[in-house]
Structures are given as C-alpha cells and as structure tokens.
Structure 1
Amino acid sequence: MASTALLSGCAALGSDPGAQGAPGQGGHGGHGGPVDPQARLAAEHARLVAAARHWNLDEVPLRPPAPPARKPKITARDGFEVDGQEEENLPPVFTTVPTRQKVVFLTIDDGAEKDPAFLRMMSDLKIPYTAFLSNYLVKDDYGYFRRMQSEGHTLNNHTLTHPYLPGLSYEEQKDEICGMQAVMKRRFGKAPTVFRPPYGNYNGDTLRAAKSCGIKYAPIWDEEVFVDHWEYREDDKNLHPGDIVLTHFRGREDWDGTMVDDMRRFLNKVTREGYAVARLEDYL
C-alpha cells in the first residue's frame, strides 16, 4: 500500500506524533528566512504519517476540501417532516448533508466517557467532529469538553437528561432543550444552534420547542459506528457523500474497547473508501 511506503520513508520522525517534522516548521528556516510552502506541506504530511503510525491506522486519513463558499440548502429528510414543518420554519431533521464531495461528518453523543487518549488522537490526526452533550453526563468534568472546544470542535445540545422527548409535554421538552442551552452558554460561552434529539426520537412539539430555544438544525445520522461493527440506516449499507456518522462517548465499561479503538475502526473504513472527515458546521 502507498501508506506503507510513506510510513517507512518517514521513520526518522519517530513515533511521537507531536514531534516537529522539520526545523523551522513554525514559519522560519534555520537562518531566519521563510519556509518554502511546499516544504511546509511536506513536513505536515510527514507529521500526519507519523501520527497515523502512532495510532495504528492503516493509512493517513484524507484531508477534507475547503468549506463550501455557498452553504447547501438543508431541508428535512423525506418522511422525517412533522406537521407544520415548512409553514412554521421548524428545524429540519436530516441524516445527510447535500453535497457531491466525498466527505462524511463525525458526530459523538452524550459525554459519558472522557478519554484523554481520544483527545490526543483526534488532535494529532486533525480530525474534526461535533459533540452533542447531555448535562447529566458532562457536568462532572466540563473542563474536558472545554479542551475539546479549544481545539476547534463544536459542542452542541443533546438535552439536560437525555429523555425520550415524545413522551414529554411541550413545556417539559422546552425545559430539557432550553435548559441545556443555558448550560452551554454558561459553561462554554455560547448557546448552539444545532440540537440532536436523544435516540433520534422527536415529534412536532420537539421541533417547536427547539426553535423557541434558538435551534436551527436537528441532524440525526445515517450510520453508527461501534468498536466492533457498523450499523446502517440505508439498505445498501454503504457510505454516501455528506453522510452523518454517529458514535458515542463510551469506553471499556460499555464496549469491548476504547474510544481510540472506535475511532480507528471509523477512520480506517472511511479512508479506505475514499472519504475525508469534514466539519459539519462548515456546511450549515
């Protein structure tokens, strides 16, 4: 495989993915002059090769294209609408972003497992992702998610207590969603505009409540990845351009593996199939 040659060719970098790829990588050469852009790109690629090897990936993950200059129009997936969807301009529920680019979007739910190795892995590999947080699971360590946010990842709303929302009244649903908006603003500096209903279950009251709380989008997912397998919404059981992929903050107490193992399975598959991981909010 091409990646094998790259890995062996960059062995001199060592297995530390945080190591500098070349002297003066920060912008100046050893004599104070500017670094050739091609040299900088080569050094960054070498760093990513070392990171892929360090985290035991099959290949270096593909880099996503630049965010679209014109955002795609996001509408509710057919069959996922509620009464009044268009008339009331309710947040659309969707599983795939309309794009022809070979990108997928990684989303991670709830916040139960707080694995520092996961943060290091995703930082080393520069993989973007979106976290949907529930307060009852993140309140014991907001700092973990602030670190995530500081590295450019987006934190979004997944309710206060992760209930089955259609079983609640409108006011109860509003308390769950708006209550989490207040937590997000207080703890992370911003109330998000993106919300995922727990379990992917919702009704008209859910979307009306979400809109009243400042929510504009309600993405769910097209595939879900676990440590040991994938699950698919579509009968073809394939990835598609713009698909939203779900996983969870989980560890060995729930899975036969760690979040690093889960991400290795995810990244190996999407890279093997020619997909890059893009940032969901760049398309919204």
Structure 2
Amino acid sequence: MEWHRSGVMVLAALLAAAVASGCAAEGGGAGAPGSPAKPAAGGRPGEAAPQAGPARALDSYAEELKRKQAARAVAAKKWGLAKTPLAAPEPPKVKPRITTRKGFEVRNDAGLPPVFTTVPTKEKIVFLTMDDGAEKDPALLRMMTELDIPYSAFISDYVTNDDYGYFKKMQKRGVVISNHTLNHRYLPGLSYAEQKKEICGQQEKILKHYGKRPTLFRPPYGNYNRDTLVVAKSCGITAVPLWTAEAFPDHMEWREWDRDLHPGDIVLTHFRGKGDWKGSMPDMVRRVMKTITDKGYAVAKLEDYV
C-alpha cells in the first residue's frame, strides 16, 4: 500500500510518543535496575502488559488504512479501474486561506467571494467536481461509494427537478450539494435582478430539497462579472471554485499550459451519459481516476479545504 507524507508523519509521531512512553515506564519503575518487571494489574509474571495509549492508536490507525485500501482495491477491480486509487491524507485542522487567482479579479472589490482554480496545498491531492445534473446514473452512486472517492456536486435546477431524490441519495452518501444556478444561463448577459433570481433562487431550491444553503457556487461556463459575485455574496456564497482540467469518458481537457495536474487542482466533469458522451459516467470515472492515479495524486474532499 502506498503511503502519503501526512500519513507517514502521523505514524512517526505516534510511534515516537509510544517509544517515549515506554522509556519513561522503564526508568520510573520501583524495582532495582536489572530486576524483573512487575506484572501488570491482573496479569501473571512473564505476561506482556496489554497495549495502551499511543501504541494502540498507532496500530488502530495503520489497520484502518489497510482495511480501507483493501476494500478500495476490491472495488477498483470490480469497476474495472486500471489501478487502485491512492488514499488521500487527513484534511488540515485549519483550512487554507483561499484567495482570488490572478487574472480572475473583478475590480479587486474587498470582501467578494474569491474565484480560484486551485486550492493552496503542498499535498499531492486534487478535487473532483461534477456539474449540472442531467444524467442520474445509479451506477455512479454505487461506484463512488464502493471506491470511497469524494466528489462535489454543483447542480442546476432545470435538469435536476425531475428527480431531486437522486441527489438526496448522493447527499446521504456524504456528497455536498452546491449551487450552479437555476437554469444555467450566461450570467454576464443578465441584469443584476436576473442574476439574483438565478443564483439566490437556486440557493432556496437547494435549501428546500437538501436542508442547507450552499456556500460554494460555480457560474455556468465559468463566466461571471462583478454583479455575479455581489449577488452570490448576498445570498450566502463564500467561494467560487472554477477548474483547471475537465474529464470525459475518452479524454481529458487541460486549462493549464503544461497539460498536467498540480497540488490542489480542481477537476471538472458533468453528470452526462452516452447521449452526450462517448461513454457512461462510470467510463468517465475510470478515465479520470487513471489520469489522477498515474500521476501519483489522490482525490480529496473539496469542502474539507474550502
């Protein structure tokens, strides 16, 4: 099993604590140097004391990682992935500070939600996001659950209103439902009032059907203006994640000049099927995960960092 730096650091810290604890116990015993150690309470002479504290935590952490990766390996084989997806590190205790990417500013207005394509991190992780909601493939729900791959859904009401229940099932599996407007219109071509209806109206739809107003918003086509960000802020949006790459069942499209992944990149795909693509949503997952895993990256949950 491959280990990420953060996992190794956690294990090393726990091991060091366990060793220090053991040394302290040896030096602080009541017996004379060289004398046999006293049996633990309730134990017999010669029996090892039961593990406790950091040593037990170390074993539990390692066993949990092994268990999850073993289950993921079985699921990867079942779903036809080329390789087992890598395990993401533990999320940070403090989320990184998100700022607007250079070139995506709108009059540098202080306090507007930042527009960005990459999350600040040194970990080899990327974030998978899915837009719109036209295709409602039950196989996708099973596949992503069994593979334990996190992703985020940015939905538009005009293609989800025929089956809110599909995305409710998704939400129950840990997926955060975020805002992609009511009708997927080109926002810079709309008035302030029209943009408010599109963005804030979708906030209310999501609150009604999924119990919570989103804090993340993605404008259709990635296009926005100052009114977009002012409106979004007015109805509870705190960040506007765009993307650096887009996944299809048969290829990847790249926004960056080097056509590569970078730590913290956001990957876009869509809820689409064979009517729009040369393949299904599971085909798309196989393609994007091959790219991500081959490049040594794991998929982390966007909302743990933003």
TM interval, short-chain normalised = 0.7 to 0.9
Pairwise mapping of residues 235-274 of structure 1 onto structure 2 (< 5 A)? 235-274=257-296
**Higher Rg:** 2
Moved over 6 A (4+): none
CA distance in 2, matches of 1:194, 1:43: 32
TM value normalised by structure 2: 0.79
Pairwise mapping of residues 179-190 of structure 1 onto structure 2 (< 5 A)? 179-190=201-212
**Displacement after TM superposition at 1:39 (Å):** 5.1
Whether 1:177 and 2:207 are equivalent positions in the alignment is no
- What residue is the counterpart of 1:56 in the other structure? 80
Give the paired residue count: 249
- What residue is the counterpart of 1:191 in the other structure? 213
- Alpha-carbon RMSD across the aligned residues, in angstroms, is 1.4
Deviations 1:228-274 (A, max 9, x none): 11111111000000000000000000011000000000111111111
Structure 1 counterpart SS, 2:299: strand
Opposite residue 191 of structure 1, the aligned amino acid is R
TM value normalised by structure 1: 0.85
The gaps in structure 1 that reach 5 residues or longer are: 4-35
User: Measured at CA, do residues 169 and 39 of structure 1 come closer, stay the same or move farther in structure 2, by a change above 3 Å?
Assistant: closer
**Displacement after TM superposition at 1:70 (Å):** 1.8
- What residue is the counterpart of 2:102 in the other structure? 78
The gaps in structure 2 that reach 5 residues or longer are: 3-58
CA distance in 1, matches of 2:108, 2:248: 35
Give identity over the alignment, percent. 59
Assess if the C-alpha contact under 8 Å between 2:69 and 2:87 holds in 1. no
**Displacement after TM superposition at 1:83 (Å):** 1.2
- What residue is the counterpart of 1:47 in the other structure? 71
- What residue is the counterpart of 2:116 in the other structure? 94
Pairwise mapping of residues 106-255 of structure 1 onto structure 2 (< 5 A)? 106-255=128-277
Assess if the C-alpha contact under 8 Å between 2:203 and 2:214 holds in 1. yes
**Displacement after TM superposition at 1:210 (Å):** 0.5
Structure 2 counterpart SS, 1:119: helix
CA distance in 1, matches of 2:229, 2:267: 21
CA distance in 2, matches of 1:221, 1:41: 29
User: Measured at CA, do residues 173 and 56 of structure 1 come closer, stay the same or move farther in structure 2, by a change above 3 Å?
Assistant: same
